[in-house]
Homo-oligomer: A and B are copies of this chain.
């Protein structure tokens, strides 16, 4: 399949271009160049030994007189599943836990303050199969489930906030399943949770077979290391979703995802970055890597014969900044940890500079959307006759 082995766009640019041309191409395509963050030798060694990538960048802000810099190190973690999907659920999950521990250990060596994992990180992304068992057995309580307990220990040990996107079984209400992000504090307790607001019905991703749209709104978590929201996966296609997290005060919006090359790759670098620009905040796109084969074949609504996998998860996790700059991507094929040191003061500085919150005319759009949402809405059309 096209594009499975290709490793990284930015490395290709650095190899093929040089001097002034490289500078101009990267300025125009990537914004202001971000300085590299030095990765501690222990983290480099751990990554080399365990076969994953660690990259780091620094996004600065101007010095202010009255506010000290508010530097936070954000870690985005991407990974493949570890065992084949035919293994027992408990074993698959345990193997992923062990892998994640390696990646979080490396993030901790790099001084990460907030770690975000990928969507449904505890499991293969099995929703394409439309099968219930065994996949729904990966669903667990957000508050007390095994992945939450596992991460609580690491969060407390490393004094880091962890965002853990899982398949949730709401044990307290109707036992239904949700696509949820659990937020664990740097002391190791559960601060709360957020759920996926927009559920795809596209290609292999009709996830409404398993769970529906969140009713929890757009919560922002005010933590020891800043205020953030979590826009899960397909929600990145909806600009108004990003915007509501920002209107609730988010300075960082995470976008834990699971998406494949044939479907979305040219959109990947656009959407989260546009949201960072439009909302004067940092956005963090995280996508799993690898190709996941399932035991039973399935079709994909595209006229092709039944098959057992639905494409290559292309990784490419990155951070976009309010000023329009962005980090290079993690690998398209390998597990990785992306550490970005941001100064959260950049958000308000860019807000003051560009002023989109001042000029957004939110009341106009509140009225227009209210009208447009009505079934009998008459579009404003001027006809040439």
A residues neighboring B (CB under 8 Å) = 2-3, 6, 9, 12-13, 15-18, 20-21, 24-25, 27-32, 183, 185, 191-192, 197-203, 213, 217-224, 227, 234, 237-240, 243-244, 247-249, 264-271, 273-274, 277-278, 324-325, 353-356, 358-363, 365-370, 372-373, 377, 379-384
Contact = CB atoms under 8 A, between A and B. Distances in A.
A355 B200 CA distance: 8
A13 B14 CA distance: 11
Nearest to A278: B239
12 contacts: A2-B27, A6-B21, A9-B25, A200-B355, A201-B358, A220-B382, A238-B356, A239-B239, A239-B243, A270-B324, A271-B274, A362-B373
B368 A266 contact: no
Contacts of A183: 382
Given A201-B355, A218-B380, A237-B354, A277 B270 contact: yes
A21 B353 CA distance: 38
A232 to B, nearest CB: 13
Given A29-B29, A30-B266, A244 B372 contact: yes
A171 to B, nearest CB: 20
Contacts of A271: 274, 277-278
Contact of A366 (B28, B223, B354, B370): B370
